[in-house]
Amino acid sequence: MKKRILALLAALGATTIYGLNHTVAKGIMPDLVSPFAFIFMRVIGGFVFFWLAAIFAPKEKIDREDFKRIFLAAVFGAFINMLSFFSGLELSTPINSALIVTTTPITTLLLSMVILKEQVTKLKASGIALGFLGALLLILVGQEIRVDAPNPALGNSLIMLNSISYSFYLIIIRSLMLKYNPFTILKWIFTFAILLNTPLTLNSFLEVEWSNIPLWGYGTIAFVVIGVTCLTFLLNAYAMTELKASTIGVFSYVQPVIGILFAIIAGRDSFTPVKMGAAILVFTGVFMATKKKPKPTEVS
């Protein structure tokens, strides 16, 4: 029982970190650290962490053909995904990003239907439509232009791109995680991530004026690099040793709640009627799209 409680706390911890990130990372961008500089630090941090962690993992040889899938996973999971999220967060608001990211289960289901030819019921199809309607409401109507959100329409669109890209990553990585140890795959994903991101992000990293960053700013950087990039993978990996994937998946619904509440408490965002309407559409859509068909009752 104790191991299960620790696993539940680990899953909750990972979700909490993701939820807080919408506001925490926003607080330092772009005045002190640009989105691209953040991405450079994240991929370097992830590269070092997972190569060190792999030392203690089982030694495995990756099939040559699987490196193509790993490279694609890096493109969608540690390149397009990261760049679009942080660039979008800079232009939009924490609540917008927390709500739009919630559509990831919906985009994953839709892509699975198209790519993997998975069957989709009318209920799931309706959920997909409602979820995307909520996201479109934020993108097209949620024009809450402020000093810290200069272009919410573009920002929301980039965050939606992040959600779609991460869905591609989940589909690509699924078979690899079943075949290899997670640390074996993740160390190579972040190796490719460095090659992909460095040409676009190195100059931004070199332009960071470290002497102008206050102590709390360094704490924010540590939170994003160590917490959001490394610790969440570690916590989820532990949670998976004791919990079913379906149980861990439930925690994805907690992330936007934490993100929204923290943004409001921290005074970094407010819940407008448009955001409320979008939240209802998105949450309803995710519930419908991920609802499992009940098993038929056996008659004795």
Contacts of 202 (CB under 8 A, 6+ apart): 40
Q: Is 0.75 topped by the overall pTM?
A: yes
**Phi (first) and psi of residue 151, to 5 degrees:** -150, 75
More confident of the two residues 28 and 144? 28
Q: What average pLDDT does the segment 152-177 reach?
A: 84
For the chain, give the DSSP string. Answer: -HHHHHHHHHHHHHHHHHHHHHHHGGGGTTTTS-HHHHHHHHHHHHHHHHHHHHTTSPP-PPPTTHHHHHHHHHHIIIIIHHHHHHHHHHHS-HHHHHHHHTTHHHHHHHHHHHHS-----HHHHHHHHHHHHHHHHHHHT----BTTBS-HHHHHHHHHHHHHHHHHHHHHHHHHHHHS-HHHHHHHHHHHHHHHHHHHHHHHHHT--GGG--HHHHHHHHIIIIIIIIIHHHHHHHHTTTS-HHHHHHGGGHHHHHHHHHHHHTTS----HHHHHHHHHHHHHHHHHHPPPPPPPPP-
Question: b/e for 268-290, b at 16 or more Cβ within 10 A?
Answer: bbeeeebbebbbebbbbbbebbb
- Whether residue 24 is predicted with pLDDT greater than 60 in this model: the reply is yes
**Phi (first) and psi of residue 108, to 5 degrees:** -65, -45
- Whether residue 263 is predicted with pLDDT greater than 70 in this model: the reply is yes
**Phi (first) and psi of residue 242, to 5 degrees:** -120, -20
More confident of the two residues 284 and 142? 284
**Count of C-beta atoms within a 10 Å radius of residue 197:** 23
Most confidently predicted of 19-23, 54-58, 109-113, 193-197: 193-197
Residue 14: the pLDDT is 84
Cα separation, 99 vs 8, in Å, equals 23
Most confidently predicted of 142-146, 167-171, 221-225, 236-240: 221-225
Burial of 117 (0-12, 13-18, 19+ CB in 10 A): exposed
- Compute the mean pLDDT over every residue in the chain, rounded to the nearest whole number: 81
- Whether residue 269 is predicted with pLDDT greater than 80 in this model: the reply is no
Token pair in block for residue 220: 């924010």
More confident of the two residues 250 and 51? 51
Cα separation, 55 vs 41, in Å, equals 22
Report residue 12's pLDDT band, with 50, 70 and 90 as the boundaries: confident
Report residue 202's pLDDT band, with 50, 70 and 90 as the boundaries: very high
- Whether residue 145 is predicted with pLDDT greater than 90 in this model: the reply is no
More confident of the two residues 96 and 38? 38
- Whether residue 245 is predicted with pLDDT greater than 70 in this model: the reply is no
Query: What is the percent of the chain where pLDDT is above 90?
Result: 28
What confidence tens digit (pLDDT) does each residue in 49-89 have? 999 999 988 889 999 999 999 999 999 989 999 999 999 98
Listed by start position, the domains of the chain span: 2-290
Identify the weakest region by mean pLDDT among 20-34, 49-63, 236-250.
236-250
- Whether residue 246 is predicted with pLDDT greater than 50 in this model: the reply is no
- Whether residue 134 is predicted with pLDDT greater than 50 in this model: the reply is yes
**Phi (first) and psi of residue 149, to 5 degrees:** -145, 70
The answer to whether 209 and 218 are in contact (CB under 8 A) is no
Residue 225: the pLDDT is 92
Residue 102: the pLDDT is 72
